[in-house]
Amino acid sequence: MIFNWIRQNTKMRFNLLFKATRDGDRISAFTDKVKGKTPTLILIKTKTGYKFGGYTTVEWDMTGSYTYKRDENAFIFSINNKKKFNVKKGDENYAICGGQNHFAFGRAHNLTIWDNFFANDNSKDYNCGYSYDTTSNYELTGGANKFYVEECEVYQVIFE
C-alpha cells in the first residue's frame, strides 16, 4: 500500500535510518540519523495501537525554531484507515517543518512529534485539514489530537 502511495509500479526498498526504541526519543538523535537523507518515510505507532506517518522528498532542516520546506510530493497517511492525505495545493511551501525540538508535516502542524517522544503526550494532530486534506475528526490519529508515541521509525526510500 505505501509503495503504491510513493510511486506506483516502481521498485524501491526502505533503509531504516532511525528507530526511537533503538536510537532514543530525542530530536537530536532524529536529526543525526536523517540529515542529508532523502526521500524519507516516517512511521509512528501510538500506545493505543494507531499507526500513521508521512513522506517527504526533501531534506529535513532542524536548525531553526520553525523551518518550513516546500514539497509538492509530500503526504501523510493512516495505516489503520488505509488512507493517504496529500499536501493541499497552495500549501506546498509548508509541507514539512523542522525545529530544534520537533518535526512536523504542515503549516499548522497537521502532524507534530515533539522532543522526548515517549515521556509526554505533546505530540499532536493539530489543525486537521489545514495543509493536508484530512478531515477535522482526527482520523489520522484515531480520533484524538494528542497521543503517546510507542515507536517512531524513519526510512530512507531508495529507488532501484
Q: How far apart are CA 61 and CA 82, in angstroms?
A: 29
DSSP lists the bridge partners of residue 86 as 75
What residues make up the domain containing 98?
A: 2-159
pLDDT at position 120 is 74
pLDDT at position 91 is 85
pLDDT at position 34 is 97
Residue numbers of the chain with a pLDDT score lower than 50:
none
Question: The pTM is what?
Answer: 0.93
Record the cell numbers describing residue 151, joined without a space.
515507536
Q: 29-60 burial string, b = 16+ CB within 10 Å, else e?
A: bbbebbeebebbbbbbbbeeebbbbbbbbbbb
What's the domain count of the chain? Answer: 1
